[in-house]
């Protein structure tokens, strides 16, 4: 874990990173739509039809179509496993086409841990239904009983005869409605499903091959950069165009209201032109941010809409009558997505049609929004998803795609590549909102929770583009004067706010405000803060009740799967040695209270002199129902645990009166290799249960386990993030 880049390269010999100048060859998302296509683009495939999800190819392969984008969650290999299982076909004969307008089904956004639940299950149903239809066709054609036939590797096999699926169907696709199959091979045979099938794109990433949208190159491609204003509400007063146009490398200056961009043949030239244009531009920035203040205190002064989301029993009376009471306030700051690769897109405007290659997490919703913004018919706008070196949630991908489109329309006939800088990404992406959670609880004479009250302060948790142009960053600076998108999705604030425990008297309310920073979806939405608060509180209540933390949770649980996860975690912790200055913390949650179960533990070492915390090891037990790819599930959990630890110990967006000040990895640090703990994940595979999303199951309980471990080591309760070193230094030895 002490490896440097230099030593890593020495150990592997060398790393060759090449960029193809011939377009799309080698990219993991496969081929691209021909750019010389004329006429209207394809309509949206009907999700009820088999051919919307899979197509039989002449070369013996099966193409699987998913409307989800690959974010690192492994959806590409998972849907391939589903199709291969139901069609009894080698994985090498399965091609996967990820989200593309007019080609794949419209599955909205890749969000909410729903890729397996929706897309992979749709592929399973379509493939199983296709198998039964194909066997019926072969049975009728050959005059044989279905029991004498089987599918294998793109062929139908019968006694002494075989035929390719393509030939059997006379080159046609299966244009029939998906029906419930009589058998799902993924539940019975499990030749591919439930197996740790490796992802081929991982090797390509390690080798530095062309995988991401940032790697895209096209012949004759030009480069664009946007000249950023000094603040969210700044307006462009003037730009010395004459001086800028003296630059020999300028292809075009694009000005649309206060949106300002430059185009050049070479990327470095575009960067230099952007820097020069920034010096020649004058801005008016009347509104100011509430910089250099206590964010937690400021947020509670904002106007807020109050809503009760859950109320049962009489929490006020139960709290007054309780034998012991506890109250606490928890705070999470604004967080970045902190994508390793800044956002990027390529756009081409040709013969009245617009083509965009993007790592947006919703190509159809973005198409609706982009078409409205540029005043074009939707069927003249085509978006192709390409994986980005990115994140879970809404970072700058949609904005970069829109900026590239605006620039391409002004410079038709050539591909326009627009790459954000690190400062662009850190300073202009939508952040995960800051949140405050205030909890009160009371214990009865048996040491059990009798009353619980929760009050949450939060901005909206999603302002994704879905036909609403004001959610796109460049729209804020165009002549049309699109206004603030507003609070957005309010429901994210209450996600996991209702404890997944048996509490007779309970009340949960939210205070939704419009905060000072641009905010939208960040992995887990409000779950992260709510579970951090609830599980920290549960740990404190367990100690107040003189009960083992796991046993205390089990006593308040009536879900056998919850209990099974906690007991399995308990078994894993037997014999763990805790030395001086170290602590062990626990937590549990069920994501959304209806998805994956996760029990978590963290082992930390604390230096009370410096206040620094080292997370030594983390354990999790996850029950996500039926497991499609156990390695993929473990990878999701491991990544979530490490990301959550980074949020807990290091990350916080800061700003002054003008704009964001955390614009690089020094001012916004994240976990690096030496910080990374050992992680261990155990999967409870429940084949007879439906699969559940797990991409966001780990974040909340991981941070809660860490702060509970810090208390175990120091006696200091951490209620505000990131962990304050000064607070730990003041701990009693």
Q: What is the pLDDT of residues 292-337, one digit of tens each?
A: 889 999 999 999 999 999 999 999 999 999 999 999 999 999 999 9
pLDDT tens digits for range 485-537? 999 999 999 999 999 999 999 999 999 999 999 999 999 999 999 999 999 99
Query: Is it the case that residue 552 has pLDDT exceeding 50?
Result: yes
Pairing label, strands 613-623, 597-606: antiparallel
pLDDT at 526: 95
- For residues 532 and 608, state if they share a domain: no
- pLDDT above 90 as % of the chain: 85
539 and 586 Cβ atoms separated by less than 8 Å: yes
- For residues 523 and 620, state if they share a domain: no
pLDDT at 10: 47
Residue 549 lies in a domain: no
Residue 121 lies in a domain: yes
State which of 206, 227, 243 marks the end of a domain: 206
Query: Is it the case that residue 32 has pLDDT exceeding 80?
Result: no
Give the burial string for 45-54 (b: 16+ CB within 10 Å, else e): bebebbbbbb
pLDDT at 33: 45
- What residues are paired with 567 via a beta bridge? none
- What residues are paired with 419 via a beta bridge? 344
Compute the distance between CA of residue 702 and CA of residue 649 in angstroms, rounded to an integer. 12
- For residues 307 and 385, state if they share a domain: no
Number of neighbours of residue 39 by Cβ within 10 angstroms: 7
pLDDT at 200: 85
pLDDT at 13: 41
- For residues 697 and 672, state if they share a domain: yes
Q: Which residues contact 168 (CB under 8 A, 6 or more apart)?
A: 134, 137, 138, 141, 156
Compute the distance between CA of residue 394 and CA of residue 472 in angstroms, rounded to an integer. 11
Q: Is 393 left (phi over 0), alpha (psi -120 to 50) or beta?
A: left
Lowest-confidence range among 124-128, 260-264, 618-622, 692-696? 692-696
Q: Which residues contact 275 (CB under 8 A, 6 or more apart)?
A: none
Nearest to 648 by CA among 597, 706, 603: 706
pLDDT tens digits for range 107-128? 888 877 778 888 888 999 999 9
Query: Is it the case that residue 16 has pLDDT exceeding 70?
Result: no
pLDDT at 36: 37
Using only C-alpha atoms, the chain has a radius of gyration, in whole angstroms, of 27
Residue 296 lies in a domain: no
pLDDT at 40: 36
* Total residue count of the chain as it appears in this document: 733
Compute the distance between CA of residue 100 and CA of residue 90 in angstroms, rounded to an integer. 25
- For residues 95 and 145, state if they share a domain: yes
pLDDT at 206: 87
Angle at 320 between CA 318 and CA 321, to 5 degrees: 65
DSSP state of 100: B
Compute the distance between CA of residue 646 and CA of residue 627 in angstroms, rounded to an integer. 27
The CA-atom distances, in angstroms, between 104 and each of 25, 100, 122, 166, 240 are 21, 5, 12, 20, 46
- For residues 673 and 628, state if they share a domain: yes
Q: Is 534 left (phi over 0), alpha (psi -120 to 50) or beta?
A: alpha
* Res. 286 pLDDT band, cuts 50 70 90: confident
Query: Is it the case that residue 482 has pLDDT exceeding 90?
Result: no
Torsion angle of C-alpha atoms 368, 372, 373, 376, degrees rounded to 10: 100
pLDDT tens digits for range 129-147? 999 999 999 999 999 999 9
What is the domain range of residue 619? Answer: 559-733
Residue 237 lies in a domain: yes
Query: Is it the case that residue 3 has pLDDT exceeding 70?
Result: no
Residue 10 lies in a domain: no
- For residues 593 and 651, state if they share a domain: yes
Q: Which carries the bigger pLDDT value, residue 470 or residue 25?
A: 470
* SS3 assignment for 450-500: EEEEEEEEECCCCCCCCCCHHHCHHHHHCCCCCCCCCCCCCHHHHCCCCCC
Residue 364 lies in a domain: yes
Query: How many distinct structural domains can be found in the chain?
Result: 4
Compute the distance between CA of residue 620 and CA of residue 670 in angstroms, rounded to an integer. 22
Residue 290 lies in a domain: no
Q: Is 485 left (phi over 0), alpha (psi -120 to 50) or beta?
A: alpha
Task: Tell me the two tokens of residue 415.
Answer: 């591909």
pLDDT at 103: 94
State which of 206, 230, 259 marks the end of a domain: 206
Indicate the average pLDDT of the chain: 91
Number of neighbours of residue 163 by Cβ within 10 angstroms: 15
- For residues 671 and 568, state if they share a domain: yes
pLDDT tens digits for range 43-66? 789 999 999 999 999 999 999 999
Query: Is it the case that residue 390 has pLDDT exceeding 80?
Result: no
DSSP state of 91: G
DSSP state of 414: S
- For residues 365 and 437, state if they share a domain: no
Average pLDDT over residues 720-732: 90
pLDDT tens digits for range 61-103? 999 999 998 888 888 999 999 999 999 999 999 999 999 999 9
Unique residue bearing structure tokens 């989800």: 68
- For residues 99 and 36, state if they share a domain: yes
pTM, rounded to two decimals: 0.92
Task: Give the SS3 label for residue 10.
Answer: helix
Average pLDDT over residues 406-424: 97
Compute the distance between CA of residue 523 and CA of residue 642 in angstroms, rounded to an integer. 13
State which of 397, 428, 459 marks the end of a domain: 428
Task: Tell me the two tokens of residue 414.
Answer: 């050539």
Q: Residue 624: CA atoms inside 13 Å, Cβ hemisphere, count? A: 30
Query: Is it the case that residue 424 has pLDDT exceeding 50?
Result: yes
- What residues are paired with 12 via a beta bridge? none
Give the burial string for 575-609 (b: 16+ CB within 10 Å, else e): eeeeeeebbbbbbbbbbbeebbbbbbbbbbbbebe
Q: What angle in degrees, to the nearest 10, is found between the helix axes of 699-714 and 527-544? A: 40
* Res. 7 pLDDT band, cuts 50 70 90: low
pLDDT at 703: 98
pLDDT at 589: 97
* Res. 201 pLDDT band, cuts 50 70 90: confident
Compute the distance between CA of residue 482 and CA of residue 424 in angstroms, rounded to an integer. 21
pLDDT tens digits for range 147-172? 999 999 999 999 989 999 999 999 99
pLDDT at 4: 53
pLDDT at 42: 55
Query: Is it the case that residue 30 has pLDDT exceeding 50?
Result: no
pLDDT at 480: 85
pLDDT tens digits for range 681-712? 999 999 999 999 888 999 999 999 999 999 99
Query: Is it the case that residue 29 has pLDDT exceeding 90?
Result: no
* SS3 assignment for 665-698: CCCCCCCCHHHCCEEEEEECCCCCCCCCCCCCCC
Query: Is it the case that residue 1 has pLDDT exceeding 70?
Result: no
- For residues 459 and 384, state if they share a domain: no
pLDDT at 535: 98
Query: Is it the case that residue 5 has pLDDT exceeding 70?
Result: no
Q: Residue 719: CA atoms inside 13 Å, Cβ hemisphere, count? A: 17
Nearest to 589 by CA among 710, 498, 679: 498
Query: Is it the case that residue 578 has pLDDT exceeding 90?
Result: yes
- For residues 657 and 733, state if they share a domain: yes
pLDDT at 732: 65
pLDDT at 22: 29
* Res. 483 pLDDT band, cuts 50 70 90: confident
The CA-atom distances, in angstroms, between 401 and each of 227, 229, 370, 436 are 16, 19, 9, 33
Q: Residue 516: CA atoms inside 13 Å, Cβ hemisphere, count? A: 26
pLDDT at 733: 54
Residue 14 lies in a domain: no
Assign residue 451 the CATH number of its domain. Answer: 3.30.365.10
């Amino acid at each position: 874990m002490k490896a440097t880049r230099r030593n890593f390269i020495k150990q592997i010999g060398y790393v060759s990173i090449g960029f193809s100048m011939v377009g799309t060859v080698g990219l993991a998302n496969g081929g691209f739509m021909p750019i010389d296509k004329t006429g209207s683009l394809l309509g949206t495939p009907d999700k009820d039809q088999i051919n919307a999800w899979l197509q039989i190819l002449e070369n013996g392969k099966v193409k699987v179509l998913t409307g989800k984008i690959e974010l690192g969650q492994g959806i590409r290999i998972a849907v391939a496993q589903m199709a291969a299982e139901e069609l009894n076909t080698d994985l090498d004969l399965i091609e996967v086409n990820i989200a593309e307008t007019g080609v794949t089904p419209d599955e909205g956004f890749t969000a909410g841990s729903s890729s397996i639940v929706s897309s992979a299950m749709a592929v399973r149903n379509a493939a199983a239904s296709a198998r039964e239809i194909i066997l019926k066709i072969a049975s009728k054609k050959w005059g044989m009983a279905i029991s004498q036939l089987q599918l294998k590797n793109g062929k139908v096999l019968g006694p002494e005869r075989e035929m390719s699926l393509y030939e059997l169907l006379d080159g046609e696709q299966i244009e029939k409605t998906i029906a419930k199959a009589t058998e799902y091979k993924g539940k019975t045979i499990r030749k591919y499903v439930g197996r740790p099938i490796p992802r081929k794109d991982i090797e390509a990433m390690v080798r530095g091959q062309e995988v991401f949208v940032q790697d895209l190159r096209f012949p004759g491609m030009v480069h664009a950069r946007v000249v950023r204003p000094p603040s969210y509400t700044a307006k462009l007063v003037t730009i010395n165009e004459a001086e800028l146009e003296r630059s020999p490398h300028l292809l075009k200056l694009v000005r649309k209201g206060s949106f300002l961009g430059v185009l050049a043949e070479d990327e470095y030239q575009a960067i230099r032109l952007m820097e020069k244009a920034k010096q020649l531009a004058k801005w008016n920035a009347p509104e100011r941010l509430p910089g250099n203040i206590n964010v937690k205190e400021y947020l509670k002064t904002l106007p807020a809409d109050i809503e009760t989301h859950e109320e049962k029993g009489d929490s006020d009376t139960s709290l007054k009558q309780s034998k012991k009471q506890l109250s606490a306030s928890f705070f999470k700051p604004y967080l970045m997505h902190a994508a390793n690769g800044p956002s990027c897109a390529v756009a081409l405007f040709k013969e009245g049609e617009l083509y965009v290659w993007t790592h947006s997490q919703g190509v159809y919703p973005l198409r609706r929004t982009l078409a409205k913004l540029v005043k074009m018919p939707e069927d003249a706008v085509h978006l192709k998803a390409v994986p980005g070196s990115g994140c879970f949630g809404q970072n700058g991908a949609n904005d970069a795609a829109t900026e590239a489109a605006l620039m391409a329309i002004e410079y038709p006939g050539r591909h326009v590549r627009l790459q954000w800088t690190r400062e662009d990404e850190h300073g202009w992406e939508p952040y995960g909102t800051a949140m405050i959670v205030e909890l009160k609880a009371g214990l009865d004479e048996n040491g059990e929770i009798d009353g619980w009250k929760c009050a949450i302060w939060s901005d909206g948790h999603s302002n994704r583009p879905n036909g609403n142009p004001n959610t796109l960053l460049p729209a804020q600076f165009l002549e049309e004067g699109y206004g603030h998108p507003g609070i957005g999705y309010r429901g994210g604030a209450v996600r996991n706010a209702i404890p997944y425990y048996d509490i007779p008297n309970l009340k949960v309310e939210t205070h939704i405000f419009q905060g000072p920073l641009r905010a939208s979806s960040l992995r887990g939405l409000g779950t992260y803060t709510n579970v951090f608060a609830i599980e920290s509180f549960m740990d404190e209540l367990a100690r107040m009740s003189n009960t083992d933390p796991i046993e205390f949770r089990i006593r308040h649980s009536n879900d056998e799967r919850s209990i099974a996860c906690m007991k399995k975690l308990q078994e894993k912790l037997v014999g763990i040695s805790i030395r001086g200055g170290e602590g062990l913390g626990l937590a549990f949650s069920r994501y959304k209270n209806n998805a994956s179960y996760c029990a978590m533990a963290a082992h930390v070492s604390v230096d009370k002199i410096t206040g620094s915390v080292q997370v030594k090891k983390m354990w999790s037990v996850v029950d996500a129902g039926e497991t499609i790819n156990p390695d993929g599930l473990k990878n999701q959990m491991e990544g979530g645990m490490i990301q959550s630890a980074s949020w807990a110990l290091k990350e916080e967006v800061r700003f002054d009166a003008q704009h964001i000040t955390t614009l690089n990895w020094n001012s916004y640090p994240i976990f690096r290799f030496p910080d990374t703990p050992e992680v261990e994940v155990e999967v409870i595979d429940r084949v007879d249960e439906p699969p559940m999303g797990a991409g966001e199951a780990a974040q909340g309980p991981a941070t809660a386990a860490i702060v509970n471990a810090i208390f175990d080591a120091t006696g200091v309760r951490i209620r505000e993030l990131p962990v304050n070193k000064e607070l730990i230094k003041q701990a009693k030895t």
